[in-house]
Amino acid sequence: MPPRPRPTSPHLQVYRWQMGSTLSILHRFTGAALALGLPALSYWLVSLAGGSESYGKALGVLSSPVGQLCLVGWTFAFLYHLLNGVRHLYWDAGYGFERRQRHASGWFVVLAALGLSVGIWLGIWLGVHA
């Protein structure tokens, strides 16, 4: 008789999606995405140190459609991870745990990150100068 599989604890797909868990997952996801941005940042800096020719090449890579898609993603990831990180630090200090506060700060973080990302990239694409 084959051994019976051990019981496992319920995983993600069993639970109803809620704001708390969704934003927590998004925090980790954006953090991982930003970590992947670190090599890109180094690449860009190294190309700058290498002179105008290598910098031009790197700028071409970063402003290609795929490059711009990554930059848009990193913009949102940065803003969300920063804002939600402050939210986490606020919790760490012992504040903001009431249901209404959690929901309000959660919505604020998501909408602010989305709004700022859209605004910034519309500004860049439409050639608005600050």
Partner 1 sequence: MSLRSPLGRVLGMGSAKDGTAHWWAQRVTAIALAPLTLWLFFSLLLLPGLDYSTVKAWLSLPVSSFLAILTIGVLAHHAYLGSAVIIEDYVHGAGLKVLWLVTLRFSYVLCAGAGVFAVLRVAFGS
Q: Which residues bind partner 1 (CB under 8 A)?
A: 28, 31-32, 34-35, 38-39, 41-42, 45-46, 48-49, 52, 55-56, 59, 78, 82, 85-86, 88-89, 92, 120, 129-130
Which residues neighbour 33 within 8 Å (Cβ) at sequence distance 6 or greater? 73, 74, 77
Residue 10, classed as helix, strand or coil, is coil
Q: Nearer to partner 1 by C-beta: 78 or 96? A: 78
Q: Nearer to partner 1 by C-beta: 73 or 85? A: 85
Q: Nearer to partner 1 by C-beta: 86 or 122? A: 86
Which residues neighbour 30 within 8 Å (Cβ) at sequence distance 6 or greater? 76, 77, 78, 80, 81, 84
**CA quadruple 90, 95, 101, 103: dihedral positive or negative?**
positive
State the minimum distance, in angstroms, from the CB of residue 2 to partner 1.
22
Q: Nearer to partner 1 by C-beta: 55 or 110? A: 55
Smallest CA-to-CA distance from 31 within 74, 89, 90 is with 74
State the minimum distance, in angstroms, from the CB of residue 86 to partner 1.
7
